Structure 1
Amino acid sequence: MIQDIQRAYQELQQAYRATIEGWSATLELRDKETQGHSERMLELSERLGRRMGLNEKQLEDLRYGVLLHDIGKMAVPDAILNKPGPLNDEEWDIMRQHPQFAYNLLSKIPFLKGAMDVIYCHHERWDGSGYPRGLKGEQIPLYARIFAIVDVWDALTNDRPYRQAWSVEKALAYLQEQAGILFDPQVVENFVALILDEEQTEPRLPAYQQ
């Protein structure tokens, strides 16, 4: 009986994971700019989380949050999400609501309770200048503070239609400049150390530069 219960639980966990991965893939089909974005960040977020002492359950919550961090963009109109030029103020107001859209959609799902820290709060900033709630400092959940740095790193070190990817050195310098302003200084310190360690031990380019 115990084995049957364990097997059923594992099957349920696998079904949850498959559903989450499907939602993430659906979003990337709709939002061309984010294609490959979530997958690239999964491993890096996990490595940073481990470095900061997260246990396996916390790492799982972090992973689900990474996969679903932009799910609220499903509620953003195509005309805004795929606009070729810069957004106007009204369009930015709508775009900045995507964490709230995600919270409204997913917050009542018990399985995603831990992941909501990333989904709802990954655009909050250390100095309180972020959105949607203007959280400040350690009011921002740790998962979100970890992912915020990985999210910006991925954006900076990959090509965008409006600019070329930054070098590792330039991107690291930016994160260090923004420590204590946009980002948690302790998380920045751990992230910089992680990247520098990998640069020294890996003879090939990291995945985010390939």
Structure 2
Amino acid sequence: LDLLVGQLAIAVENCNLFEALERQNLALRLAYDETIEGWARALDFRDKETEGHSRRVTERTVELCRALGLPPEDLVDVRRGALLHDIGKMAIPDAILLKAGPLTDEEWVVMRKHPDTAVELLAPIKFLRPALDIPQCHHEKWDGTGYPAGLRGAAIPLTARAFAVVDVFDALTSDRPYRAAWTREQALEHIQAGAGTHFDPQVVTVFLEMLQQT
């Protein structure tokens, strides 16, 4: 009996330790995510043109990736990657990032470096490495004409292909200093027209079906 009581006490203690560890891990994950959201807000504050953009595209990208069949455990990295998709723009000079008019060829060279800069910033952070696909590849295009690597088709990570559709849709339906927001119908026509060139056609189909339900 004494032996059984001792084993039971050890089991209870182990259970308590496990629960405490789980609580600590949850608190740590929440702290990580709150920090990431803070970084995203900092970029939005710097670039008033896109204020609120990061949160909007994050929520919709997670929804789209869920509709595309990604498992729930992968959606955590989708969320983090979407929030940090433009973190590389922190290294873009204000004269280029905040320029009201069209960029010159030389300025575009600088602007197109921001995906690689995002990788340089985030790759040393171990828990963010699984979230790099969106920051690194969201400007790649289905036909291979995107940047920074000129990836084509399924060589582009699915999460980045999904994000690209959401990102363009949000940009088109938001006001900009140089143009008014497009209507939902105009933006959807543009997305459909880009299927097979800019966008993955399958992703476009699922995106359109998703929007019909909202």
- Provide TM-score, normalisation by structure 1: 0.92
2:205 pairs with one of 185, 189, 205:
189
Unmatched segments (≥5 aa) in structure 2: 1-16
CA RMSD between the two structures: 1.0
Aligned partner of 1:163 in structure 2 is 179
Shift of 1:197: 2.1
Q: Is the contact made by 2:101 and 2:178 (CA closer than 8 Å) also made in structure 1? A: no
Aligned partner of 2:170 in structure 1 is 154
Aligned partner of 2:117 in structure 1 is 101
Shift of 1:170: 1.4
Aligned partner of 1:76 in structure 2 is 92
Q: Does 1:50 align with 2:38?
A: no
Which runs of structure 1 show a deviation greater than 6 angstroms over 4 or more consecutive aligned residues? none
Question: Whole-Å Cα distance in 1 between the matches of residues 200 and 62 of structure 2?
Answer: 17
Q: Does 1:16 align with 2:50?
A: no
- Provide TM-score, normalisation by structure 2: 0.90
Residue 86 of structure 1 aligns to which amino acid in structure 2? Answer: P
Shift of 1:179: 0.6
Aligned partner of 2:42 in structure 1 is 26
Question: Whole-Å Cα distance in 1 between the matches of residues 118 and 131 of structure 2?
Answer: 11
Count matched residues. 198
Aligned partner of 1:142 in structure 2 is 158
Q: Does 1:62 align with 2:59?
A: no
Larger radius of gyration: 2
Shift of 1:123: 0.4
Shift of 1:56: 1.6
Question: Whole-Å Cα distance in 2 between the matches of residues 82 and 42 of structure 1?
Answer: 22
Question: Whole-Å Cα distance in 2 between the matches of residues 126 and 162 of structure 1?
Answer: 27
Question: Whole-Å Cα distance in 2 between the matches of residues 152 and 141 of structure 1?
Answer: 17
Aligned partner of 2:146 in structure 1 is 130
Question: Whole-Å Cα distance in 2 between the matches of residues 11 and 169 of structure 1?
Answer: 42
